[in-house]
Amino acid sequence: MTDIARSPGFSRPRLQLPALELDVKLLLPLLVVAVLIAFFSVTTESFATLRNFSTIAGQAGTLLIVCLGATFVILMGSIDLSVGAIVLLVGALTVTVLNLTGIGVWVLPLAALFGAVLGLLNGSVYALSGIQSFVVTLGSLSIFSGVALQLLQGRAIQFSDAAFENLAIGQLIPSLPNIALCGLVAWGVSVLIASRTRFGRYMYLIGGGEQVARTAGVPVRRYKIYAFALSGLLAGLGAALAVARLGAAGPSLGSDLLLNSLAAIVVGGTSLAGGSGGPHRTLIGVLIIAILDNGLNLLGVSSYTQMIIKGAVVIAAVVASRVELRNAVVK
């Protein structure tokens, strides 16, 4: 097959890496991070401490890993509403396998495989049926959640494996939980995938114009499946690390990830219209959501009010990008 990246008519999407080029659209999210840190540092005594920053990093680890996979799906103009349900189901499967086999840390790649299979199912139904990704993943959200709750029987299942638990809560780097370190490694790999691989280029191209991508020779259907499989794989990886951090899998695992992941991705600057943004921006969005969650908790704001605030944040972020979304349709 001819590589379209080398063909005369191919126009490569402009990819912007924070380490190589100043992305102007990153300035506002970075400013928001600075303002939130300053505000919560003034209003709460316990916010600006090394211990609390370590806590924020640990809480943000799972969210970052899950958001990275979902970013690629949104980048191509689709959406994955099932990430929280995948985390719940893979978390339940992870604890079940741990308790039955005692394989310890080797359950981590198995969890990633479980997630990839679930993502592959999502992607296959979406790409082969022509149904909107919103509808497909809304249905799979219900299916995956139902299977997980059947496994859990409505209760939390614990495990006892010190090595697996240490995989998330240990600190290879002082004051930085391993789960946050895993998230940063996943972020670095995702940025390289988005900017240096054919898969990454095709995500931008499909999101920028699916028909144009088809005309240019991109196997759109296949790469849609790949994107959802990657989203599931990272959700599965995040699920295993979340279970390791919590020491159990319960019915509420992943319940807040749907809203938080969409909020982080959109606030970070990846457009729901597809074709712009990327995982390098998602890190900033995750920081905003994690800092907001932590600061509001320290201020004693109720969880219901926090839901209202985060919902308003998502709407505000979409409104801010309304020019890009004016003629867009979520596919």
pLDDT recorded at residue 62: 93
Q: Which helix (H) or strand (E) element contains residue 181? A: helix 178-196
Residue 16 or residue 192, greater confidence: 192
Q: What is the pLDDT of residues 123-176, one digit of tens each?
A: 999 999 989 999 999 999 999 999 999 999 889 999 888 888 888 888 999 989
Q: What is the pLDDT of residues 229-255, one digit of tens each?
A: 999 999 999 999 999 999 899 999 988
Nearest CA among 217, 215, 238, 234 for reference residue 226? 234
Concatenate the DSSP letters of all residues of 196-254 into one string. HSHHHHHHHHHHH-HHHHHHTT--HHHHHHHHHHHHHHHHHHHHHHHHHHHTEE-TTTT
In the predicted model, what is the mean pLDDT of the chain?
Answer: 87
pLDDT recorded at residue 276: 86
Arithmetic mean of pLDDT, 188-217: 93
Nearest CA among 149, 324, 124, 172 for reference residue 253? 149
Residues 325 and 328: their CA atoms lie apart, in Å, by 5
pLDDT recorded at residue 193: 96
Q: Is 30 exposed, middle or buried (0-12, 13-18, 19+ CB in 10 A)?
A: middle
Residues 91 and 288: their CA atoms lie apart, in Å, by 25
Residues 100 and 165: their CA atoms lie apart, in Å, by 16
What are the CB-based long-range contacts (under 8 Å, 24+) for 96-103?
96/151, 96/157, 98/159, 98/161, 98/164, 99/157, 99/159, 102/161
Arithmetic mean of pLDDT, 103-118: 94
Whether the per-residue pLDDT at 3 is higher than 50: the answer is no
pLDDT recorded at residue 21: 43
Residues 253 and 243: their CA atoms lie apart, in Å, by 8
pLDDT recorded at residue 320: 67
Q: Taking the alpha carbons of 59, 65, 70, 74 in that order, is the dihedral positive or negative?
A: positive
Arithmetic mean of pLDDT, 63-90: 95
pLDDT recorded at residue 271: 86
Distances (CA, A) of 106 to 41, 94, 137, 240, 272: 40, 10, 29, 11, 36
Query: Any idea what DSSP says for residue 173?
Result: B
Whether the per-residue pLDDT at 206 is higher than 80: the answer is yes
pLDDT recorded at residue 274: 86
Which of the four pLDDT bands, split at 50, 70 and 90, describes residue 322?
Answer: low
Rounded (10°) angle between helices 279-298 and 257-268: 120
Q: Which of 120-129, 283-292, 300-309 has the lowest mean pLDDT?
A: 300-309
Concatenate the DSSP letters of all residues of 82-131 into one string. THHHHHHHHHHHHHHHHHHH--GGGHHHHHHHHHHHHHHHHHHHHHHH--
Domains and their CATH numbers in the chain = 19-321 (1.10.3470)
Question: Which structure tokens are listed for 138?
Answer: 């809304």
Which of the four pLDDT bands, split at 50, 70 and 90, describes residue 331?
Answer: low
Which of the four pLDDT bands, split at 50, 70 and 90, describes residue 326?
Answer: low
Q: Which helix (H) or strand (E) element contains residue 307? A: helix 303-320
Residues 222 and 229: their CA atoms lie apart, in Å, by 11
Residue 176, classed as helix, strand or coil, is strand
Distances (CA, A) of 30 to 27, 34, 38, 120, 182: 5, 6, 12, 34, 22
pLDDT recorded at residue 184: 96
Arithmetic mean of pLDDT, 82-97: 95
Arithmetic mean of pLDDT, 101-106: 88
Residue 309 or residue 314, greater confidence: 309
Which of the four pLDDT bands, split at 50, 70 and 90, describes residue 224?
Answer: very high
What torsion do the CA atoms of 129, 134, 138, 141 make, to the nearest 10 degrees?
Answer: 90
Question: Which structure tokens are listed for 35?
Answer: 């303002």
